[in-house]
């Protein structure tokens, strides 16, 4: 069901996206009416959360069924605490094709009544609430003047980034995401020298209800979007190999790769932002993975000019790795739910050159016969199919190879790639099934299509 307005973007960004989704090749393939219909569905589904939560199970530590049962028990206890019912059941299903994935339905949108007291949060925080999170204090922009801990409030997400911090009321574009109880007074949130931390509003009646995984089986259950889990399987790491994850923080895919290798071999994780490296290490430690080696480094500079250099950390000699993952920094326009972005067209279009620099390093660091996987969580052609066309042109040693599993759609026409190459690409396109999702198809059927927007290409270096 569509309950929010479509994603709020700058007009120039909406026009740009429209030109992408209604490009000449798409119009020839599906016709103007269908292309326009898909584009409008895209804008609408981006502002809504997927209808299930995806958990990657640590099958390197325990069998899937055992993890499923433990998780059901933990979540059942959690629900018993927050519900008056004597018996509550939790539905957790194994993904029909991916051996380490569990899926849990999200309940919503639920009929929740708005209250008189309003708290306004940023769009990113509002999106997290729609995926089951409580409101953390730094996400709060405005609250009633005399809000006290214990007050019941309605939470709204600021769509256009116009609410000023500390506001006592806000008349701009906002969307209701549920009701909660304040855990702090207004003065603790806004009137202190130190920024407030921790839960500011505990959501008791969220518009979309999904279990909270905060502290639940941390070493066995890792929250991850389905396409991100697919990336690890598509890369296909084997025990004993040396793998490079070039843009790794917070390390979800790094840890998955290490788990798929049974923690045998080496997974080198690079990220340019120093404090994000700690997150990679914490995640690896939490999941009991020793083979992850994380370094703070700009991956565009990760190829050593000295081919004989032998160090544990970057830069590395050319042809050092069996497989390389380039999960590139991108415009992120596939993220769901995303009710509003204030980015300019310039910002949206700024990633292509950086992705190409990273790609150059990736190809040089890969051994001959090795596998390179390129992925993004965005929907533009410029960062996806156009990058593939450019890469095939620039590096004659690269060829596209089939992906396993391939549960998403194929690549989008528009970058001049022939149909046989588009078929080798995997594009998760939630807009293609957005109506189908509304017709309450059984969860395992909609799991593969009701995802974030995502793109995966797999290359072999010949």
Ligand X SMILES: C[S@@+](CC[C@H](N)C(=O)[O-])C[C@H]1O[C@@H](n2cnc3c(N)ncnc32)[C@H](O)[C@@H]1O
| CB closer to ligand X out of 276 and 367 | 276
Choices 66-74, 140-148, 292-300, 403-411 (CB under 6 A): range interacting with ligand X: 292-300
Out of 158, 327, 383, 448, point to the residue binding ligand X (CB under 6 A). Answer: 327
Residue in the structure block whose two tokens are 């019941």: 152
| CB closer to ligand X out of 126 and 315 | 315
**173: annotated binding-site residue?**
no
| CB closer to ligand X out of 189 and 280 | 280
User: For strand 426-428 and strand 321-327, is the pairing parallel, antiparallel, or unpaired?
Assistant: unpaired
Residue in the structure block whose two tokens are 């979007």: 225
| CB closer to ligand X out of 151 and 327 | 327
Q: Is residue 295 a contact point for ligand X (CB under 6 A)?
A: no
Q: What does the per-residue mask of binding to ligand X show for 85-124, with x meaning CB under 6 A?
A: ----------------------------------------
Q: Is residue 250 a contact point for ligand X (CB under 6 A)?
A: yes
Choices 48-56, 130-138, 265-273, 344-352 (CB under 6 A): range interacting with ligand X: 265-273
**389: annotated binding-site residue?**
no
Tell me the three-class secondary structure of the chain, residue by residue: CCCCCCCECCHHHHHHHHHHHCCHHHHHHHCHHHHHHHHHHHHHHHCCCCCEEEEEECCCCCCHHHHHHHHHHHHHHHHHHHCCCCCCCCCCEECCCCCCEEEEECECCCCCCCCCCEEEECHHHHHHHHCCCCEEHHHEEECCCCCCCCCEEEEEEECCCCCCCCECCCCCCEEEEEEEEECCCHHHHHCCCCCCCCEEEEEEEECCECCCCCCCCCCCEEECCHHHHHHHHHHCCCCCCEEEECCCCCCHHHHHHHHHCCCCCEEEEEECCHHHHHHHHHHHHHCCCCCEEEEECCHHHCECCCCCCCCCCCCECCCCEEEEEEECCCCCCCCCCCCECCCCHHHHCCHHHHHHHHHHHHHHHEEEEEEEEEEECCCCCCCCHHHHHHHHHHCCCEEECCCCCCCCECCCCCCCCCHHHHCCCEEECHHHHHHHHHCCCCHHHHCCCCCCCEEEEEEEEC
Q: How many Å apart are CA 356 and CA 362, to the nearest integer?
A: 10
| CB closer to ligand X out of 225 and 421 | 225
User: For strand 266-271 and strand 292-296, is the pairing parallel, antiparallel, or unpaired?
Assistant: parallel
- Whether 377 is catalytic is yes
Out of 75, 119, 248, 362, point to the residue binding ligand X (CB under 6 A). Answer: 248
Q: Is residue 271 a contact point for ligand X (CB under 6 A)?
A: yes
Q: Could you tell me the two tokens for 183?
A: 């855990």
**327: annotated binding-site residue?**
yes
Q: Is residue 270 a contact point for ligand X (CB under 6 A)?
A: yes
**252: annotated binding-site residue?**
yes
CB of 405 to ligand X, least distance (A): 18
**166: annotated binding-site residue?**
no
Choices 132-140, 236-244, 268-276, 433-441 (CB under 6 A): range interacting with ligand X: 268-276
| CB closer to ligand X out of 272 and 360 | 272
Choices 89-97, 144-152, 202-210, 244-252 (CB under 6 A): range interacting with ligand X: 244-252
Choices 185-193, 242-250, 378-386, 437-445 (CB under 6 A): range interacting with ligand X: 242-250
Q: Active-site residue among 45, 54, 125, 377?
A: 377
Out of 23, 300, 342, 352, point to the residue binding ligand X (CB under 6 A). Answer: 300
Residues between 22 and 81 that touch ligand X (CB under 6 A)? none
Out of 51, 299, 426, 449, point to the residue binding ligand X (CB under 6 A). Answer: 299
N-term to C-term CA, the chain: 48
Q: Is residue 379 a contact point for ligand X (CB under 6 A)?
A: no
Q: Is residue 251 a contact point for ligand X (CB under 6 A)?
A: yes
Q: Is residue 2 a contact point for ligand X (CB under 6 A)?
A: no
Catalytic residues: 377
- Which segments are annotated as binding site? 247-253, 271, 327
- Which segments are annotated as binding site for S-adenosyl-L-methionine? 247-253, 271, 327
Where does this chain bind ligand X (CB under 6 A)?
Answer: 228, 247-253, 270-273, 276, 298-300, 327, 329
């Amino acid at each position: 069901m569509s309950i929010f307005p479509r994603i709020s973007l700058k007009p120039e960004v909406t026009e740009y996206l429209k030109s992408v989704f209604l490009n000449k090749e798409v119009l020839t393939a599906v016709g103007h009416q269908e292309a326009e219909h898909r584009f409008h569905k895209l804008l609408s589904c981006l502002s809504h959360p997927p209808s299930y939560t995806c958990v990657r199970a640590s099958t390197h530590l325990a069998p899937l069924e055992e993890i499923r049962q433990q998780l059901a028990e933990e979540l059942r206890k959690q629900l018993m605490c927050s519900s008056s019912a004597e018996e509550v059941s939790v539905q957790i299903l194994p993904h029909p094709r991916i051996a380490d994935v569990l899926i849990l339905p999200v309940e919503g949108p639920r009929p929740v009544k708005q209250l008189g007291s309003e708290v306004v949060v940023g769009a990113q925080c509002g999106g997290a609430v729609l995926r089951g999170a409580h409101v953390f204090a730094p996400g709060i922009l405005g609250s009633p003047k005399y809000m006290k801990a214990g007050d019941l409030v309605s939470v709204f997400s600021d769509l256009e980034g116009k609410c000023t911090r500390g506001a006592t009321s806000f008349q701009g574009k906002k969307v209701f995401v549920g009701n909660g109880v304040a855990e702090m007074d207004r003065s603790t949130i806004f009137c202190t020298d130190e920024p407030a931390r921790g839960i500011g509003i505990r959501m008791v009646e969220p518009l979309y209800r999904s279990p909270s995984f905060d502290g639940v089986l941390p070493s066995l259950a890792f929250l991850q979007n389905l396409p991100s889990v697919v990336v690890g399987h598509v890369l296909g790491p084997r025990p004993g190999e040396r793998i490079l994850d070039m843009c790794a923080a917070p390390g979800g895919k790094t840890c998955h790769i290490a788990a798929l290798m049974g923690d045998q071999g080496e997974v080198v994780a690079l990220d340019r932002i120093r404090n994000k490296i700690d997150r990679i290490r914490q995640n690896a430690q939490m999941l009991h993975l020793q083979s992850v080696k994380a370094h703070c480094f700009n991956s565009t500079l990760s190829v050593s000019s000295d081919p004989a250099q032998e160090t544990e950390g970057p830069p590395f000699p050319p042809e050092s790795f069996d497989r390389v993952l380039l999960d590139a920094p991108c415009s992120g326009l596939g993220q769901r739910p995303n009710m509003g972005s204030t980015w300019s067209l310039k910002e949206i279009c700024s990633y292509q050159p950086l992705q190409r620099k990273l790609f150059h390093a990736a190809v040089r660091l890969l051994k001959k016969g090795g596998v390179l996987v390129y992925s993004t969580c965005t929907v533009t052609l410029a960062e996806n199919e156009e990058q593939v066309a450019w890469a095939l042109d620039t590096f004659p040693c690269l060829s596209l190879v089939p992906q396993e599993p391939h549960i998403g759609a194929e690549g989008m026409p528009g970058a001049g790639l022939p149909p046989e190459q588009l078929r080798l690409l995997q594009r998760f396109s939630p807009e293609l099934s957005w109506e189908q999702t509304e017709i309450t198809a059984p969860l395992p059927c909609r799991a593969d299509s009701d995802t974030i927007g995502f793109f995966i290409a797999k290359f072999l270096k010949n």
